[in-house]
Structure 1
């Protein structure tokens, strides 16, 4: 029997409220820099980190991702966290991935801010001991602190941490939502198909909008 090829799968998690070009550019950079076979966009369900925020429904967020990555074979959508009931923890996601895809290697893609806070997550050792962590870093004045954290995580957990020099545009979903709310243009910030969907579904607009 032919041995199954060990795939290298990138996991890009987030609220994606909405997905924008910054997310897509980060995924593309990770795909190329780390020689990944695929990057899965994994929108969070009921994240304990972001409870209480004005977040579009899981159906809307998943649909916007589908529209954004349509035609890109190397990108995919995972609804693993969306389908989970209760708070979403990365450690649970890692364990589920390892059970479902025991032959694959997983790369969790995150920003430097998440890496700095990673030890405060629930059971961070499950992520650090089972997956490669790929951190997107830009020159923000935290390089020295970041290097100390990386050295600590490598020593404490034997973590495999890769650095992705940030070449993507400085965008945030919160800025996009705010601009939409106040009727400002968000062209060139997210794919046209996503923008059209937001308009059709009246997402992020003022409630008194006619």
Structure 2
């Protein structure tokens, strides 16, 4: 990224959020505090070329669940920029729009450890790394050396600015949550109570 003077520091946590769970929320909160961010945009994706549409709740349901999960945190803000976009949604396009709309803002793209090892395969990775700082949680099954080597590689090859948080990623997945629900098991403490209620009322992820 260039060294322009920024007035705001805004995080971005994007994802399918199918559904959004405590691991997502803790990652966003940890990044907010670790990097001294003003706020974090919580950004559900729309159509994803990586996902099987048969396994993903509707965009409307995922946006609604996300809104419920973050409504009590005034430092989190729901962003519909990708959810409302038609067709495949690409991160470089999202960052282009945000940086054009808010030139005084520095963006921090918040990711889990696995994503650090795949970002270079995304569409136009140079454009992504040029417009944001990447903030990554560590993961217990990856050594510090592995993650630091990858961050260094991205810096050397893409001029990426990568911050490795000294905070472990929470090992919870939406796949696990959906399996729990389909088997009629409790997701208490994995999901916000309002999200659990929404899932029950709309019969999401339940075995047919």
Q: TM-score range by the shorter chain?
A: over 0.9
- The residue that corresponds to 1:46 in the other structure is 47
SS in structure 1 at match of 2:111:
strand
Deviation at 1:50, TM superposition (A): 1.6
TM-score (norm 1): 0.92
Q: Which whole-Å CA distance do the structure 1 matches of 2:14 and 2:116 have between them?
A: 13
Which aligned segments of 4 or more residues in structure 1 are displaced greater than 4 angstroms?
none
Show CA shifts across 1:9-56 (max 9, x none).
Answer: 000000000011111111110010000000111011111222445111
* Post-superposition CA distance 1:82-128 (Å, at most 9, x none): 11111111111111111121111100001111111111111001111
Q: Which runs of 5+ in 1 are unaligned?
A: none
Quote the residue 2:3 is aligned against: none
The C-alpha deviation readout for 1:143-188, integer Å capped at 9, x for no partner, is 4333222112111222211012334532111111011001111111
The whole-number CA distance in structure 1 between the counterparts of 2:107 and 2:89 is 18
State TM-score, norm by structure 2.
0.93
Q: Which residue of 2 aligns with 1:123?
A: 124
- In 1, distance between residues paired with 2:122 and 2:58? 24
The answer as to whether partners of 1:138 and 1:165 remain within 8 angstroms in 2 is no
Q: How many pairs does the alignment contain? A: 203
Gaps of 5+ in 2: 1-5
